[in-house]
Amino acid sequence: MVDARGYSCPIPVVMVQRAVKAENPDSLTVLVDEQVCVENVTRFANASGYKVTVTRDGEDYRMELKK
């Protein structure tokens, strides 16, 4: 789980990049609170071989990354 709420890009993408590099997980949950971070994390995740589903949770976005 990467909780990047409150962080502005590119920090959330860096957090996801570090998590992917460290453990190369098959699935990863990422929490962000800006639309622009959803876009940026999705681009990075797709390029790293993950499929992304996004659900809105109040003011936050819950992103599920799956290989």
Partner 1 sequence: MKKVNWLVVLAGVLVGVAALALSALGNPANMGFCIACFERDIAGTLGFHSAALVQYMRPEIIGLVLGALCMSLVKGEFRAKGGSSPATRFLLGALVMIGALVFLGCPLRMILRLGGGDLNALVALCGFACGIFVGTLFLKKGFSLKRTYTLSAAEGAILPLVLVVAGVAFVLFPALFKISTEGPGSMHAPFFIALLIAVVVGALAQRSRLCMVGGLRDAMMFKDFKLLYGFVAIFAVTVIGKLLLGGMGWGKLTPFNLGFDGQPVAHSNHVWNFLGMSLAGWGSVLLGGCPLRQLILAGEGNGDSAVTVFGMIAGAAIAHNFGLAGKAGVAAAEAVTTNAKVVLCCGFVILLVISLVNLPKAAKQKA
Question: Rule CB under 8 A: is residue 5 a binding residue for partner 1?
Answer: yes
What is the spatial distance between Cα 59 and Cα 27, in angstroms, rounded to a whole number? Answer: 23
* Least Å from the CB of residue 59 to partner 1: 7
What is the spatial distance between Cα 19 and Cα 29, in angstroms, rounded to a whole number? Answer: 11
Question: Rule CB under 8 A: is residue 6 a binding residue for partner 1?
Answer: yes
What is the spatial distance between Cα 60 and Cα 31, in angstroms, rounded to a whole number? Answer: 7
Question: Rule CB under 8 A: is residue 24 a binding residue for partner 1?
Answer: no
Under the rule (CB under 8 A), what is the footprint of partner 1? 5-11, 13-14, 17-18, 34-36, 39-40, 43-44, 46-47, 59
